[in-house]
Each structure stands twice: as structure tokens, then as C-alpha cells.
């Protein structure tokens, strides 16, 4: 009997050129929006047609409700990362995507964010060092935001608001190359630069 699968995997070699610098970590701004403010989601392809990178990259833009924008949280540099790990049993495996970042304040505004975010459902956009944006959050699974604060101790102790995020996804923290609409203007996620209107 012939195989009738239509989602055959498209594999390619994973090459690496020695001498190419790899910059770990994330940049110093985290974008977020409550899921309820997203009218239409970009699509994550189920099957690759030309290359494997398609499977990890959203096509299209996040369409937001009227007068809604991506907000941001400024972060302490060198205190954040994204992690993805496989979870579950074959064939029902998925990925657990995580980020942990630190905002330098524990003031009233940071504390108010913590209180609300502790029970809300978000999508986050994190820019890694090479300028590309990764997505934590999706339509299928809730995003768990766990904030915590530390007043620090002594004269050099750690201080700030840590935001830990976990979400199940079908892909390790997918890439996003669409538009990021903020109050300050629209960013082209493919370049990290202001979008041409």
C-alpha cells in the first residue's frame, strides 16, 4: 500500500562556518501584548515547501484591535535568555519555550505590572543579539507569566523585577519578521528598524 502522507519532512544539512561569531543572549527590550488585543495571528506553516527555516518563521503580521499597541519592558543587559526544550511522549510531543528577563525597577509601575500579569495571557516578542525576533506565546496554549521582585541587599546586591515566561508551542520560540506596531511607531521585525509607511 502506498504511503499517503502529505506532510513529508524536508530536511537540509545544518552547516556552520568556523570563524563566524555567535552572539549569545537577548537585547534590552521585551515587547508584550495581551492575547485579547490580537485580532488576527500570523501563520506558522505546518509543512516546508522550499527550506527548513519556513517551519520556524511566522508568515504575515499580528493584526491588533483598534488603538492597541505592543508595549515594552526595558531590561537589564546580559540578564536574559530564551530556552526551548522538547516535552511529552511521541508522537504527541511539543516544546516548552521559556524566557527569564530582569527589569531594573521595583517601583509602583513595575509592581502594578506584576499584579496584573500574574493572571493574564500574553504574547511576547524578544529580540536576540543578531537582531531577529522570537515569539513566546501562541493561539493554542496559555502563556504563563511569573513575575518576582527582589529589593536587593547590601550595597551591591541584585535588585529588580524578574519576569519568567513559559508556554507550550509546536515550535521552539518561532521567528517573527512582520510588523510590530507600537505607540512610538511601527518596527519591521525582519530588520529591527522603523517600518516604511
Q: What is the SS3 assignment for 138?
A: coil
pLDDT the model gives residue 4:
67
Question: Are the C-beta atoms of 147 and 113 separated by less than 8 Å?
Answer: yes
Query: What are the two backbone dihedrals, phi and then psi, of residue 115, each rounded to the nearest 5 degrees?
Result: -60, -45
pLDDT at 56 over 70: yes
Query: What are the two backbone dihedrals, phi and then psi, of residue 31, each rounded to the nearest 5 degrees?
Result: -100, 145
Which of 55-64, 78-87, 153-162 is predicted with the least confidence, judged by mean pLDDT?
153-162
pLDDT the model gives residue 10:
85
The mean pLDDT value of the chain amounts to 93
CA 177 to chain centre: 12
Question: Are the C-beta atoms of 178 and 57 separated by less than 8 Å?
Answer: no
- Could you check whether the bond before residue 119 is cis, i.e. omega within 30 degrees of 0? no
Question: Are the C-beta atoms of 117 and 142 separated by less than 8 Å?
Answer: no
Give percent above pLDDT 70 in the chain: 94
Instruction: Write out pLDDT tens, residues 3-49.
Output: 666 667 888 899 999 999 888 999 999 999 999 999 999 999 998 88
pLDDT the model gives residue 5:
66
Amino acid at each position: 500500500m502506498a504511503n499517503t502522507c502529505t506532510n513529508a519532512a524536508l530536511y537540509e544539512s545544518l552547516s556552520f562556518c568556523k570563524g563566524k561569531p555567535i552572539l549569545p543572549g537577548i537585547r534590552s527590550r521585551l515587547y508584550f501584548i495581551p492575547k485579547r488585543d490580537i485580532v488576527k495571528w500570523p501563520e506558522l506553516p505546518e509543512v516546508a515547501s522550499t527550506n527548513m527555516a519556513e517551519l520556524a518563521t511566522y508568515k504575515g503580521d499580528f493584526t491588533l484591535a483598534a488603538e492597541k499597541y505592543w508595549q515594552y519592558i526595558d531590561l537589564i543587559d546580559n540578564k536574559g535568555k530564551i530556552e526551548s526544550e522538547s516535552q511529552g511522549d511521541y508522537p504527541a510531543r511539543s516544546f516548552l519555550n521559556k524566557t527569564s528577563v530582569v527589569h531594573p525597577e521595583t517601583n509602583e509601575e513595575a509592581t502594578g505590572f506584576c499584579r496584573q500579569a500574574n493572571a493574564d495571557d500574553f504574547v511576547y516578542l524578544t529580540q536576540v543579539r543578531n537582531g531577529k525576533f522570537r515569539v513566546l506565546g501562541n493561539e493554542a496554549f496559555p502563556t504563563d507569566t511569573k513575575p518576582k521582585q527582589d529589593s536587593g541587599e547590601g550595597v551591591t546586591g541584585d535588585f529588580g523585577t524578574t519576569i519568567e515566561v513559559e508556554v507550550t508551542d509546536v515550535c521552539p520560540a518561532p521567528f517573527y519578521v512582520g510588523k510590530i506596531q507600537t505607540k512610538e511607531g511601527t518596527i519591521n521585525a525582519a530588520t529591527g528598524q522603523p517600518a516604511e509607511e
